[in-house]
Amino acid sequence: MGEIKEGYPLNEYPEVEEEDIEFPAEIWIAYAVCGTSCGIQGFIVDGQTQVCQNCGKLMYRTYSRKYRLVD
């Protein structure tokens, strides 16, 4: 498995107010797979990093779908 990274102490993360966050109305999600020696599979935001969090190599995007925000 990949190296486990330690997080920051809680007080070192910025405070975020919910009203300051604007989610996109729609977004593309891809189902990505890593190599057979790693075996990780999962959903990633299309257009964002596709680096495997387990082994550090690039994952392959198989299929993408558009999702829409609902109230």
Per-residue confidence (pLDDT) for residue 71, from 0 to 100:
78
E strand spans, 3-70: 26-33, 41-45, 60-68
Both tokens of residue 45? 């935001």
Whether 20 maps to a domain, the answer reads no
Mean predicted confidence (pLDDT) in 10-31:
94
How many Cβ atoms from other residues are within 10 Å of residue 27's Cβ? 15
pLDDT of residue 4 exceeding 70: no
* DSSP SS3 for 70: coil
Q: Which domain holds residue 70?
A: 26-71
Mean predicted confidence (pLDDT) in 6-13:
90
Whether 63 maps to a domain, the answer reads yes
Whether 18 maps to a domain, the answer reads no
Angstrom distance (rounded) from CA 2 to CA 46: 23
Whether 39 maps to a domain, the answer reads yes
Angstrom distance (rounded) from CA 5 to CA 42: 20
Per-residue confidence (pLDDT) for residue 18, from 0 to 100:
94
Whether 7 maps to a domain, the answer reads no
Per-residue confidence (pLDDT) for residue 7, from 0 to 100:
86
What total number of domains does the chain contain?
1
Whether 21 maps to a domain, the answer reads no
